[in-house]
Structure 1
Amino acid sequence: MTWKATFEKWKQYDELETDLGVKLKELEENPAELEDAFYKTLTFGTGGMRGILGPGTNRMNTYTIRKAVEGLALYMLEHIEGARDKGVAIAYDSRYMSQEFSVEAARVLGAHGIKAYVYESLRPTPYLSFAVRHLQTAAGIMITASHNPPEYNGFKVYNDQGAQMPPAEANELISYVNSVESELTVPVLDQEEIERDGLLNWIGEDVDKAYMERLMGIIRNPEMIREQSDISIVFTPLHGTAYQPVLNGLEQAGFTNVHVVEEQAKPDPEFSTVSSPNPEEHQAFAKAIELGKEKGADLLIATDPDADRLGVAVQNEEGEYEVLTGNQLGTLTIDYLLSQTTPLPEDATVIKTIVTTEMGRKVAEHYGARMIETLTGFKFIAEQIEAFNETGDGTFLYGFEESYGYLVDEYVRDKDAVQAAITASELAAYWRQEGKTLYQALRSLYERHGYYLEGLHSLTLKGKEGTEKIQQIMDHFREEQPSQIGSYKVIAVEDYSDQTRTFLDGRKSETIDLPKENVVKYILEEDAWCCLRPSGTEPKIKCYFGVKTDAPETSAERLEELKEAMVSKMESVIQESVK
């Protein structure tokens, strides 16, 4: 069926929601946008789907949600024993249509006799992961688009371990979603009917309390926190879901001097005080920095809308607040957790992704712990944790990724900004007791292990043409493998699409013991590296860089040089595609 035929099908559908019908008529005035809304089905990837709100098969709306949930229901009934009674836990964030989509999901599940356990109001993503494990449901759904702009929403699926599905499991689910013939005709039951029949159950404070009890267990030094309880902390939830969870956690942990950025405290689907509700971007800290200066704060913390990512800012040597990278905070946390865990288990293990700093490995090995790598995405870290529990081949102590995702305790199986907020506050209190700021503690780590520095360049290429250009870039770097990037000699090329590590000095190729993925990584001399990876949730191709030298200025220079070399190569590929 052509996209035009699909559009006509939607246009002629008598029961189309009124609001979507109005927007559909508006789209007819813009042929390019109309085609983009219908030229494909919104991709249901290994983590779910994410897209712009609006009418069309390539948009987030009631009907694309119904199709996704219909596929999940069919998958559950075929693969999970007792799926109807175990049910599905559902949570949602502060975005437009999030609450409505959560109820739509319950209505579809209800048509199959599958119970839904829906949070009574918005909750963070880690709470959904926890609810799946706590309620022992067969699956979980999180309605969120994380830190994307206001016009987006998304749909993430979790398995019975409270983790996003690993590739094999997800691919099986995807086949069921794709088998649904029409998103417009998925059967649903009325909300009143499923509530009456016990197929829609509202959850809230009981599960919240259970989460908070486990949260207090991550604290390493409660007595030290009591002694440093007046450490000044500024917190902003960036209009998302973390306001109450983080404040409750800090209060119960014993922190008494916490200041909230009030303009950003309430949920707001427009995220009206920031250009992007992403703690990875320094502009998101603008108001927190204002309040921090007023209060003389030791620590600034910010969470993204669904509270799975945490950003931190601390005062540097000039007294100005500097936002730490995910790599820096993760490495500081490894150093603290391992130094404060006594005795350290012989099989103590820290987990990071392939695009996360190598400094974490250096610090872990300094304490006698091992570091293992996964593909990008916290589902792979969760999968490794579950493997430890099944085989006994490791004791999980910490997992992190460069994109501001951290997990301290495995009672949640996704990145958890609530856990990370408590741990970052404990870190700051500990180092204040030692007479240092977090910034000074980080400098000490650099002096001991070397000046590791990482960077990221994201290239946004929207629409059908953008998707094609992203693949052209990946194909080019595979087909024309460079022997040198900038001033760095290439030692090896890791192509995760065929799981091979090829050495350029003639050594025998190796097999990469990780799942297949559309990723190419270059291992360079002098502990440098760079990696190309299309985003799984946004129309972007991401290029990651890492260097290490003995001086901060040198590392900054070498990183910029490496970035310029890779970006230049990417742009030349795009220019060639235009000719």
Structure 2
Amino acid sequence: MHIEQHILNAVNEWLTPAFDAQTQAAVKDMMTSSPKLLEESFYKNLEFGTGGMRGIMGVGTNRINKYTLGKNTQGLSDYLKKSFPGQDLKVVIAYDCRHNSNTLAKTVADVFSANGIKVFLFSDMRPTPELSFALKYLGCQCGIVLTASHNPPEYNGYKVYWQDGGQLVPPQDKEIIGVIESLQYSDIKFSANEDLIEYIDTAVDEAFIASTVDNASFNTPQAAKDQLVIAYTSLHGTSIKMIPAVLEKAGYKNLHIVAEQATPNGDFPTVVSPNPEEPEALTMALALAEKVNADIVIGTDPDSDRLGVAVRDTNGKLILLNGNQTMVVMTEFLLRQWKLAGKLNGKQFIGSTIVSTPMMLELASAYGVDCKVGLTGFKWIAKFIKDFPDMQFIGGGEESFGFMVGDAVRDKDAVGATLLVCEIAAQAKAKGSSLYKELLQMYVDYGFYKEYLVSLTKKGIEGAQEIKQMMNDLRNNPVAEVANERVIMVEDYQASSAKNLVTGELETLNVPKSDVLIYYTEDGSKIAARPSGTEPKIKFYASVNAQIDSVDEVPAAEAYLDQKIKNILTDMNII
């Protein structure tokens, strides 16, 4: 097969003495045994996306390995010295349960220390939200977590956090990438200064647990906690290190853990995908819940930033909630608690994203708070906290099963969100209701919003080109009508424009550019198209809504909305 010259140039660089003999041998083997794999491994450099840098582990510029992460870390070290001149630099590093995470974390620590930077390195795997907490707790300028979140077992990743505890955002991200790209692999300092590496564990754990319990507890009586039966799975991930301890300290005693999934394992042997967004991932937890008659089921992804929730419906049947549903239930509860405490004075806000449910705007309006809506990725919600220091952040989420309670952690946090959702369920049960019934009443009070996600996987070079073409086609052939409803507004976040198709008025979107298109129809439906920033996927989001006057109207309204979503997706050739 023909291989482009720029790929061959990259391959030849990896055959130089800057790379160890084992790496060079692996490259040579690919050259003879698998030219296609060679092309996939070297056709581009791994890029930072919505959730940091993720990729398949292996040899090459488009892979996660000691050299790609070493180069990132060398560039980050140089940037830190420039950004904080004269300061004693400190970084904290955590890692998850994935293969090679511990050795890659040590490599990253080695490079930082070789550059004279103090490193706090967790002695064992920890949840990603604890890294965000530890960064501020230890007074560091930067933090790194080695994780690929819910991606398949062959992946790993590298997420960078800044001084405020949030992930990198503009302008730091582009500036750091520029520094990294200016380096040669031979510039990487791999020789560790072990005197600068300090292992951390119990003290930070205890502080994180205490902070979480303080942040996500809302005066639930102990009797109510005693009555709540919880089924929980860590899906072989890191949350097993924290969630049982947090729930115990908060007073929840009826916790039943899926034993077969409690041991951290980077192969994720009992699931097709360790992603609580996928119903299959919670199969074993649901079975345990039926066995122990649990009120609520909770499952978290490998690095414990996302959570999936199942609750019993009005017939007692366990049903899975989607990320939008859990988000609005948690947000409305927080708003109600703040209102009851007399803490709402117009200087508070909640956070959401452009592809999440518009119901968040309705909640904000009802409680007299602001709802700040950013691009996909929790780094944008964290950025709001930094950008609006005179306002208090209550909580916020995104449709992809992430939620953040307060600002002690500046990223989505399944540890704190698990405690919060247990508080909601316990209080509801104690008053003869349930979390599900609370959600149904919200549909009456704020409008029945229903969302649906279609995610199409397109792997490799051809897949990336196919996704690009799909977005080009949507831009070049804009949809004027969807399911017999006129499109009245199109937002193109790549062009930073919002066009009103009724008046012809064109507005500028004051957010960073992103490859997202959103259509709004005259009946209030919303359809978004977005390539994933962390996986080889293109995602389509549909949101529809209806007004109802009582909970009795929910079944008919839901059937109507389900058909509406099906019509939209069929009409746009998405399904």
TM-score w.r.t. length of structure 1: 0.93
Equivalent residue for 2:308, pick from 288, 311, 336: 311
Tell me whether 1:258 sits opposite 2:264 in the alignment. no
- More displaced stretch, 28-37 vs 127-136: 28-37
Q: Which amino acid aligns with 1:554?
A: Y
Structure 2 CA distance for partners of 1:200 and 1:24, relative to 1, 3 Å: farther
Tell me whether 1:86 sits opposite 2:92 in the alignment. no
Partner of residue 125, structure 1 = 128
CA drift of 1:265 comes to 0.5
Q: How does 1:447-486 map to 2 (within 5 A)?
A: 447-486=444-483
Q: Is the 8 A contact 1:116 1:201 kept in 2?
A: yes
Q: Distance in 2 between matches of 1:19 and 1:266?
A: 31
Q: Distance in 1 between matches of 2:286 and 2:28?
A: 42
CA offsets, 1:527-572, max 9 Å, x none? 210111111111111111100124111111101111222344xx9x
Partner of residue 345, structure 1 = 344
CA drift of 1:249 comes to 0.7
- More displaced stretch, 335-344 vs 375-384: 335-344
Tell me whether 1:367 sits opposite 2:367 in the alignment. yes
CA drift of 1:405 comes to 0.7
Q: How does 1:272-291 map to 2 (within 5 A)?
A: 272-291=269-288
Partner of residue 178, structure 1 = 181
Q: How does 1:353-502 map to 2 (within 5 A)?
A: 353-389=353-389, 392=390, 394-502=391-499
Partner of residue 512, structure 1 = 509
Structure 2 CA distance for partners of 1:226 and 1:485, relative to 1, 3 Å: same
Partner of residue 73, structure 1 = 77
Structure 2 CA distance for partners of 1:39 and 1:364, relative to 1, 3 Å: same
CA drift of 1:359 comes to 1.4
Q: Is the 8 A contact 1:225 1:253 kept in 2?
A: no
Q: Which amino acid aligns with 2:375?
A: L
Partner of residue 552, structure 2 = none
Q: Is the 8 A contact 1:10 1:16 kept in 2?
A: no
CA drift of 1:48 comes to 2.9
Q: Which amino acid aligns with 1:159?
A: W
Q: Give the 3-state SS of the residue equivalent to 2:424 in structure 1.
A: helix
CA offsets, 1:105-159, max 9 Å, x none? 1111122111111101000110110111111111111100000000000001111
Equivalent residue for 1:58, pick from 59, 62, 66: 62
Partner of residue 576, structure 1 = none
Q: Is the 8 A contact 1:345 1:395 kept in 2?
A: no
Q: Distance in 2 between matches of 1:4 and 1:77?
A: 34
CA drift of 1:7 comes to 2.1
CA drift of 1:14 comes to 8.0
Q: Is the 8 A contact 2:236 2:261 kept in 1?
A: yes
Equivalent residue for 2:34, pick from 24, 27, 30: 30
Q: Give the 3-state SS of the residue equivalent to 2:400 in structure 1.
A: coil
Q: Which amino acid aligns with 1:188?
A: F
Q: Distance in 1 between matches of 2:463 and 2:474?
A: 17
Partner of residue 323, structure 2 = 326
Q: Is the 8 A contact 1:47 1:157 kept in 2?
A: no
Q: Is the 8 A contact 1:491 1:523 kept in 2?
A: yes
Q: Give the 3-state SS of the residue equivalent to 2:125 in structure 1.
A: coil
- More displaced stretch, 62-71 vs 368-377: 368-377
Q: Is the 8 A contact 2:27 2:38 kept in 1?
A: no
Q: Which amino acid aligns with 1:286?
A: T
CA drift of 1:222 comes to 2.9
CA drift of 1:12 comes to 5.3
- More displaced stretch, 278-287 vs 356-365: 356-365
Q: Is the 8 A contact 2:30 2:37 kept in 1?
A: no
Tell me whether 1:221 sits opposite 2:218 in the alignment. yes
Q: Distance in 1 between matches of 2:18 and 2:564?
A: 61
Q: Distance in 1 between matches of 2:573 and 2:35?
A: 32
CA offsets, 1:490-533, max 9 Å, x none? 01111112221100012422222222211111111222101111
Aligned residue pair count: 559
Q: Is the 8 A contact 1:534 1:542 kept in 2?
A: yes
CA drift of 1:22 comes to 4.6
Q: Distance in 2 between matches of 1:539 and 1:505?
A: 35
Q: Distance in 1 between matches of 2:571 and 2:92?
A: 46
TM-score w.r.t. length of structure 2: 0.94
CA drift of 1:35 comes to 0.8
Structure 2 CA distance for partners of 1:268 and 1:485, relative to 1, 3 Å: same
Q: Give the 3-state SS of the residue equivalent to 2:349 in structure 1.
A: strand
CA drift of 1:5 comes to 3.2
Q: Distance in 1 between matches of 2:400 and 2:232?
A: 19
Tell me whether 1:162 sits opposite 2:159 in the alignment. no
Structure 2 CA distance for partners of 1:430 and 1:46, relative to 1, 3 Å: closer
Q: Distance in 2 between matches of 1:174 and 1:320?
A: 49
Q: Is the 8 A contact 1:351 1:398 kept in 2?
A: yes
Equivalent pairs: percent with the same residue? 38
Tell me whether 1:138 sits opposite 2:135 in the alignment. no
Q: Is the 8 A contact 2:456 2:539 kept in 1?
A: yes
Partner of residue 574, structure 1 = none
Partner of residue 190, structure 2 = 188
Structure 2 CA distance for partners of 1:223 and 1:490, relative to 1, 3 Å: closer
Q: Distance in 2 between matches of 1:437 and 1:17?
A: 61
Q: Give the 3-state SS of the residue equivalent to 1:482 in structure 2.
A: coil
CA drift of 1:229 comes to 2.0
Q: Which amino acid aligns with 2:133?
A: F
